[in-house]
Structure 1
Amino acid sequence: MSSSNRYSIINPSKSPFFYGYVILVLGTLGIYFSIPGQTIGVSLFTDPVKDALGLSRNQFSNAYMIGTIISSMFIGRAGIWFDRYGARYTAFFAALTLAMALFLCSWSLEMTYFVKNMLRLDSWMVPFTIMTLLFFLLRFSGQGVLTMASRNMIMIWFDRNRGKVNAVSSIAISFGFSSSPLWINFLIEEYRWEGAWRLLAIGLLVFSLLIFQFYKNKPEEHGLIPDGAADPIEIKKDVRVEKKQYTLKEAKGTRAFWMYGLMLAFNSFFITGLTFHVVSIFASEGYPKSDAISIFLPGSVVAVAISTIFNYLSDYLSLKLYLFLMIFGGMLASIGFLMLAYPFGIPLLIAGFGIMGGFFAVLNAIAWPRFYGRNHLGAITGKVMGLIVLASALAPSIFSLCYATFDSYRVVGYIGTAFLSFVLMGSLKANSPQ
């Protein structure tokens, strides 16, 4: 038994069907179980936790931002762990770390009292510092490592059918994430915020055991190949040969790495900032709260439709076309953001961020193994994930700064248009490195 499968009773080579489909289900679940470390999983805890700890909304938000920025600095290292130790161990310890962080979050009030008494210091800096450290653990292990390891594992087990399986995974994740506020809110109302975090931690502990048994690093370690071709003749006929396995240093030397990475980071920046300030953004243009909240459902429909169709087609089409279409979506969103005061502004905004979100789901999964191979996928995607997380951390503050300085959010639209113009020009020669 290989060391990568040690202590596991599951043998993929004995499966009656291609084990990659088990990987698809478990890897998708792994991304779903990262929700407690995602913005959507933390946001519902904001009001009860900040009130209990005596923090203002601004202080709590800054703790979240700083913790997220620090986590972005370490995600690249986690990618190297993925390449060295594989998806199984990396995801297992990420799930354990996330569970530990959730338990600690549930005791944050007791920890605050303890530190204040020990230091004889009654200051908001105590809970602020504690939550900053806890947010670092949540964001690093949840949004960062567990998500990255689970997604990369799925991509490694498939080659010619990456787009098709990513379509299935993306649909499941979209519906799972969109429904998560309902059951998280139920847990908070039934068991208070402390109990909700503890129940989520217990769920992560249980899932970590499933990771240890069912996650597998590469099909080749078990005498299998990507997509499940059955014999050498089929292998020669069906498996795409990767001409070069790029290291992170080599990947960073290509134009494609930076143009695709910057576009994915812009999507994270724009969506996070819009979500965080949506009520204020719409109010500044004279719209009620109901109009602000209503944009997300049609935007999600557009994103799911785009990701489903173009994930499937990605097995046959150039990803450079996808990059240009994503930039086009970003342009629509930025122009819609600028023109919110006009009747056509909201439809443009919805279409734009929906198109961007749809192509984000495709390119963030498909581009990196296709462009750079599988051997150093963790280090490469870890670096990209660091850019994405950093962009999401900075977005709320930059949006807020623009509003405070110019008494309007419209300047964000100008910044977005200028940045996307730069990415468009840079992408003209961002060809596949293969």
Structure 2
Amino acid sequence: MSKNYFSFIDPAKSPIFYGYVILVIGTIGIYFSIPGQTIGVSVFTDPVKDALGLSRNQFSNAYMIGTICSSLVIGRAGVWFDRYGARYVAFFAALTLSGALMLCSWSVRMSEFMKHLLKLDTWLVPFVLMALLFFVLRFSGQGVLTMASRNLIMIWFDKNRGKVNAISSVAISFGFSSSPLWVNALIEGYSWQITWQILAVALLFFAILILIFYKNRPEEHGLLPDGEPKKTESDPEHLPLAKQYTAKEAQRTRAFWMYALILAFNSFFITGLTFHVVSVFASEGFPKEDAISIFLPASVVAVTVSLIFNFLSDYLHLKLYLYLMILGGIMASVGFLFLSSVVGIPLLIGGFGILGGFFAVLNAIVWPRFYGRTHLGAITGKVMSFLILASALAPSIFSLCFSTFDTYRPLGYLGLGFLLFLALASVKANNPQ
């Protein structure tokens, strides 16, 4: 079956290498996943939980259950990516995310209707409803749309993968870090219901752009990655790697687990902190404004790290990046532990930024470089399941820690212990190629 039905643009006739069009539209695709990301959901936490009559713990647990369920099935989306290509997978993900956001905007009315229908006036009704909506939101947004868009960019480039990822990462970092500000402005200006509806309509329009501009592989259009000249019949087949690993083969290498675990730590720490950032800072005596203000300087650090090390990634070993990311995690954990001290916030912002910067590099570059492009969907789908699971557990674990100990600090000690283990276990995490 052709993967290019409804195609109005021929990449082979593009005046510039079409990979650069893919770079722009794929980056926009990742940006459009914000409503399904923690940073996009967190701004809605307080008004939505209050409107539904849920406590912070109940809302966090609904988020956790929905996200865990998403992590269990996201691997299937990776298989779909390898089979059907980024174009259709991203298109249906955008449509699904749009529908989920529209339903979220009606969540209070749906909850009241179900309570009336079932003759049950209990918190379980909005709890189950939000768990289901979070499942769809996280699966389609954080999971499928992000994975398909990022993999698409990586497939269109090989030798210039690091440089291209640098451009994409800078745009995404600024986009993500600024999103709580403009989403919050929309909520305060129009209400949380209208804001979700605005995002839903925007995603519908973007789904059409996906159908027009997303193209699965350069080879399907007589092109090669990076815009290299087409090989003649006498030339050897263009294969950038010696071996194209399957997902199962990749999982038998130590590198797969070490890189996946540090990326998962980033998802856990950043998600937990972002989700409860106001509460975390309030527990140490800081106002809401101070809590929200950490995102911009952290994004500047993340963008700087991402820009420099993406460009250098075409020339350096990625194990160095792995250890630098672990160092960033240690800085963030120490800053988290000593938040109220003079060095607490600078360390937290610096570590937060370093983690985010290297996450943007490694999550895109390591998988095609280490394991090839052929089964990239299945491999990244498996990694994505770890990342989503970590982000699912984070809000509830942060919330449980605070309700049990009346402080978030024990999580800092747990983070340091995990990072030291990872540093020791990664000594032999070499590129399997």
TM-score class, shorter: over 0.9
- Of residues 62-71 and 363-372 in structure 1, the stretch that sits farther from structure 2 once superposed is 62-71
Within 2, Cα distance between the matches of 1:339 and 1:193? 34
Farther-moved stretch of structure 1 (311-320 vs 188-197): 188-197
Measured against aligned partners, the alpha-carbon deviations of 1:126-156 in whole angstroms (never above 9, x if no partner) come to: 1211111011100100010000000000000
Mapped to 2, the partners of 1:214 and 1:309 lie a distance apart of: 29
Structure 1 counterpart of 2:397: 398
Aligned position for 2:266 = 267
Give the Cα separation in 1 of the matches to 2:195 and 2:219. 40
Q: Partners of 2:236 and 2:49 in 1: how far apart? A: 59
Structure 2 Cα separation of the partners of residues 199 and 349 of structure 1: 33
Does the residue aligned with 1:232 lie in a helix, a strand or coil? Answer: coil
Name the counterpart of 2:36. 37
Within a 5 Å distance, the mapping from 1:182-193 to structure 2 comes to 182-193=181-192
Counterparts of residues 362-377 of structure 1 (less than 5 Å): 362-377=361-376
Cross-structure match for 1:296: 295
Identical aligned residues as a percent? 73
Describe the shift of the 1:280–1:48 C-alpha distance in structure 2 as closer, same or farther (beyond 3 A).
closer
Task: Look up the equivalent residue of 1:115 and give its one-letter code.
Answer: M
Is the aligned partner of 1:200 residue 2:228? no
2:50 maps to which residue? 51
Q: CA deviation at 1:336?
A: 2.5
The amino acid that maps onto 2:166 is A
2:243 maps to amino acid: K
* Contact 1:72–1:389 (8 Å) recurs in 2: yes
Partner Cα distance (1:205, 1:287) in 2 = 39
Instruction: Verify: 1:166 aligned to 2:146, yes or no.
Output: no
Residues 209-262 of structure 1: CA deviation (Å, up to 9, x unaligned): 1111111111001100000012438x9799762111111100110000000000
Query: Post-superposition shift, 1:348?
Result: 2.2
Separation in 2 of the partners of 1:428 and 1:421?
A: 12
How big is the alpha-carbon RMSD for the aligned residues of Structure 1 and Structure 2?
2.1
Kindly provide the CA deviation profile for residues 1-55 of structure 1, in whole angstroms up to 9, marking residues without a partner as x: x701112111111111100011001100100111111112222222332333232
For 1:250, the equivalent position in structure 2 comes to 249
**Alignment-derived partner of residue 79 in structure 1:** 78
State the 1:354 CA deviation: 1.4
Contact conserved, 1:160 with 1:239, CA < 8 A, in 2? no
Greater alpha carbon shift after TM alignment, 404-413 vs 220-229: 404-413
Amino acid of the structure 1 residue aligned with 2:391: S
**Bigger Cα displacement from structure 2, 406-415 vs 243-252:** 406-415
Offset at 1:286?
Answer: 4.4
Partner amino acid, structure 2, of 1:250: E
The one-letter code sitting in structure 2 at the alignment partner of 1:405 is: T
Distance 1:335 1:237, change over 3 A: farther
Change (3 A) 1:130 1:9: same
Q: Is the 8 A contact 2:302 2:357 kept in 1?
A: yes
Structure 2 residue identity aligned to 1:419: F
Matching residue of 2:313: 314
* Aligned counterpart, 1:351: 350
CA contact (8 A) 1:170 1:308 kept: yes
Q: CA deviation at 1:272?
A: 1.7
Q: Residue 221 of structure 2 corresponds to which residue in structure 1?
A: 222
Q: CA deviation at 1:350?
A: 2.1
In 2, the alpha carbon distance for the partners of 1:251 and 1:312 equals 25
Bigger drift between 346-355 and 19-28 goes to 346-355
Using the alignment, how far apart are the partners of 2:432 and 2:219 within structure 1? 24
Question: Which residue of 2 is the match for residue 63 of structure 1?
Answer: 62
Q: CA deviation at 1:338?
A: 2.7
- Does residue 145 (structure 1) correspond to residue 138 (structure 2)? The answer is no
Partners of 1:75 and 1:144 within 8 A in 2: yes
Q: CA deviation at 1:290?
A: 4.5
How far the C-alpha of 1:427 sits from its partner, in A, is 0.7
Letter in 1 for 2:216: N
Counterpart in 1 of 2:95?
A: 96
Distance 1:381 1:60 in 2: 29
Q: Does the CA-based 8 Å contact 2:39-2:274 persist in structure 1?
A: no
Take 1:306 and 1:166, find their aligned partners in 2: how far apart are those partners?
12
Choose 195-204 or 175-184, whichever is displaced more: 175-184
1:409 is displaced (CA, Å) by 2.6
CA 1:116–1:94 in 2, change beyond 3 Å: closer, same or farther? Answer: same
Q: State the partner residue of 1:117.
A: 116
The aligned counterpart of 1:130 is 129
Q: 1:418 is matched with which residue?
A: 417
Equivalence for 2:11 = 12
1:405/1:195 CA distance change after superposition, 3 Å:
closer
In structure 1, distance between residues paired with 2:154 and 2:8 = 23
Query: 1:333: how far off?
Result: 1.7
Question: CA–CA distance in 1 between the matches of 2:137 and 2:286?
Answer: 34
- Range with greater deviation from structure 2 (345-354 or 84-93): 345-354
Contact 1:160/1:240 (<8 A) preserved: no
**Whole-angstrom CA distance in 1 between matches of 2:184 and 2:282:** 25
Query: Separation in 1 of the partners of 2:280 and 2:109?
Result: 37
User: Matched residue of 1:104: which SS?
Assistant: helix
Residue of structure 1 equivalent to 2:25: 26
**Corresponding residue SS for 1:121:** coil
Give CA-to-partner distance per residue, 1:259-315, whole Å, 9 cap, x none.
000000101111122223334434444445554444332222111100000001111
- More deviation, 245-254/273-282: 273-282
SS at match of 2:85: helix
Give structure 1 stretches of 5+ with no counterpart. Answer: none
Q: Using the alignment, how far apart are the partners of 1:50 and 1:348 within structure 2? A: 31
Cα separation, 2, equivalents of 1:258 and 1:181: 32
Code of the aligned partner of 1:127: P
TM-score (norm 2): 0.94
1:55-96 Cα deviation digits (max 9, x unpaired): 233322221121111111111111111111110011011011
Paired residue secondary structure (1:258): helix
